[in-house]
Amino acid sequence: MKRNLLAATVAIGILTLTGCNKEKEPELTSSIQQASYGIGLNMGQSLAQDGLNELDIDALTLGMQDALSGTEARVNEKDIIAAFGQLQAELEEQASQAGEANQQAGVDYLAENAKRDGVVTTESGLQYEVVESGDAEGAQPDASDVVSVHYEGKLIDGTVFDSSLQRGEPIDLPVAQVIPGWVEALQLMRVGDKWKVTIPSELAYGPASPSPLIPPNSVLVFDMQLLGIQGQE
């Protein structure tokens, strides 16, 4: 019962907000207004991450109003399905074009980065630069180990997509269960090492990105520090 009441209250709040005069923004002072705004904000962020930031906001709002108020749909199901299909095709085409552009940009970046002093390119194409060395006799992890790492991951344009440094705590992870570029790099590092590791897309996520923050075929750049190996002092 409480859940149904909450759903109804949220629905009323959304209807109130979407029905407001567009020239006058709601004050967002009451809890239902703030919750309604939060729902809209989360939906918008999710849609933007999926590449849907060019949706018609007026039509989107109208659809929400009709659904929440129980009004009969203004567009029939057949046309909606066809529209979804067209939108999906457009998004796939955009992703394909972006992937091709990223692939060439990555090739160019790797070629230039390989020329920098101190950059080592392995047989696989992985590139690394030693920023700070740990003990020369320090332990090196095997594929079966679990390691503790601090890192910050960036795209080649400098955009940070993930960072344990920003979160303020390192991550423990099995060496064998990360992307191939990390698997290789970690087994080359010694405890205490800080490296800048540049990973070709084929050693990262390739065309199938796990996150909207990482475009298809992206070369990834990581600042990595190997802090320790589980079970070892």
Catalytic (active-site) positions:
151, 161-162, 179, 205, 222
Residue with tokens 């990482």: 214
Question: Which SS3 state, helix, strand or coil, does residue 19 take?
Answer: coil
Contact (CB, 8 A) for 142 and 176: no
Of 92, 112, 88, 37, the C-alpha closest to 216 is 92
Amino acid identity, residue 181?
A: G
For residue 71, give the DSSP letter.
Answer: P
The 3-state DSSP composition of the chain as helix, strand, coil percent (nearest 5) reads: 45, 20, 35
Question: Which SS3 state, helix, strand or coil, does residue 207 take?
Answer: coil
